[in-house]
Structure 1
Amino acid sequence: MSNDVAYPVFCTPDPALALRAARRLMEFGRCEYINVSLYAEFRSVDETWRAAKELPEGWFRGQELEGEFDRRVPFEDLPAWLVGVRGAGLPADPAAYEGRLPVDYELPNQAVGSVEDAFTAGIGPSVGEINWQDLCWPDAPELGFRGESKHAEVTLLFNTSTRGYDEPADDHTVFLHVHDADVDGRQMREPYAHWLAAQMGLTVIGPAQQC
């Protein structure tokens, strides 16, 4: 089993500009089976309701309460939106959100170009990401690196600077992913990440991040 590591290559307070940069990088690695997934966290009731109107096609899930997934509780007795509902299925009563925030949002494996613009326009101040996966990075023979596809991804993070969503930010960051090849604390494929960024006129602007 192997993992990926992600390098930040572009950062801006303009979400539309960040999306354009991410798309340029994605197109550089585009191949036949590429797809795109959306993820977000909505940390207030108002943000959740707003997202349900602007991004209704994704799956919304509230946080579980302690012991809620006890095997003695029939699955069908769990709140539907704990398992996952579309925007129209979210509770209308604010009291239903007590202990359930943040609400997770997910829309996986969509056709490239079908969801990115609406998500960028609708994310607002919430944290979230667009992730393009199943890309194909080319060879860099002058550096001695073979291309890769298993870990070739591009991620655009909104309103946070970390893949764990634990550092809020006022800007948006584009990451490129490569294979995590850590040898004694040194990332052996970091020069390859720099090379990939340079092909699109970008630069690695920070340390690698693991998920």
Structure 2
Amino acid sequence: MSNDIAYPVFCTPDRALALSTARRLMEFGRWEHSNVCVYAELHSVAEARRMAKELPEGWFRGQEEYREFDGVPLENQPALVLGVKGPGLPADPAAYEGRLPVQCELDDLPVGSIEDTFMAAIGPNRGWINWEMLRWPDAPELDFQGESKHAEVTLLFNTPTRELDEPADGHTVLVHVRSFSIDGRQIREPYAHWLAEQVGLTVIGPGQQW
């Protein structure tokens, strides 16, 4: 089993520029099986409803307490907790009590099918676009083999962290590589620098892991 580590390579308050930059990096590793997914955390009822109108095919799900529904049949659990598509979001504000933030996500979509719509819809909310199943090429001059399992690009909106736990005015692009640490040192970090350089970018901060 292996994990990834993601390095920030670009940050800007201009979300359109952030998206075009992330796409440039993504295209460097794109191939026929690459896909994209999106995710947002919505901290108000108004934002959840707005996003549902903007992304009606999105899957929306609210929070639940630990073991809150142990022993409760699925058919008796709130629709918002089970998850609904945009048009199925509850109209009653009381249905959201204790359920915020509401998560919105769409997975395994063709590259180019959702990115612009999501960028326009995200508003002030924190979230991301993640391009998966990319293929990074070999870097023989650094003696690094290419990357596929952990070859990803992420565009973070309104936050600099993968955990979405820090609000920010900027949007950050991350390049992912395999995490391989010896004595606390990431052996493949130079590969992340090399990947960024191939499209005119530079690593601008420490790697982030889940």
* TM-score, normalised by the number of residues in structure 2: 0.98
Q: Which amino acid aligns with 1:150?
A: K
- 1:132: which partner in 2? 131
Asked if 1:154 is matched to 2:148, the reply is no
Per-residue deviation, 1:68: 2.3
Per-residue deviation, 1:103: 0.2
Per-residue deviation, 1:64: 0.9
- 1:178: which partner in 2? 177
Distance 1:18 1:111 in 2: 20
Distance 2:170 2:147 in 1: 29
Distance 1:32 1:66 in 2: 40
- 1:47: which partner in 2? 47
- 1:169: which partner in 2? 168
Asked if 1:205 is matched to 2:204, the reply is yes
Distance 2:88 2:176 in 1: 35
- 1:13: which partner in 2? 13
Per-residue deviation, 1:67: 3.5
User: Which segments of structure 1 move beyond 4 Å, counting only runs of 4 or more?
Assistant: none
Asked if 1:85 is matched to 2:81, the reply is no
Distance 2:111 2:53 in 1: 22
Write the mapping of 1:1-40 to structure 2, written as runs, cut at 5 A. Answer: 1-40=1-40
Distance 2:67 2:190 in 1: 47
Write the mapping of 1:68-79 to structure 2, written as runs, cut at 5 A. Answer: 68-70=68-70, 72-79=71-78
- RMSD of aligned Cα (Å): 0.8
Asked if 1:117 is matched to 2:116, the reply is yes
What secondary structure does 1:174 align onto? strand
Q: Which runs of 5+ in 2 are unaligned?
A: none
Distance 1:118 1:66 in 2: 34
User: Percent of aligned pairs with the same residue?
Assistant: 71
* TM-score, normalised by the number of residues in structure 1: 0.98
Number of residues of Structure 1 aligned to a counterpart in Structure 2 = 210
Q: Which amino acid aligns with 2:197?
A: A
Deviation string 1:108-160 (CA, Å, 9 cap, x unpaired) is: 00000000000000000000000000000000000110101000000000001
Per-residue deviation, 1:95: 1.4
Distance 1:30 1:61 in 2: 30
Deviation string 1:22-75 (CA, Å, 9 cap, x unpaired) is: 0000000011210000111000111111101111111000101353220x2111
What secondary structure does 1:106 align onto? strand
Q: Which amino acid aligns with 2:45?
A: V
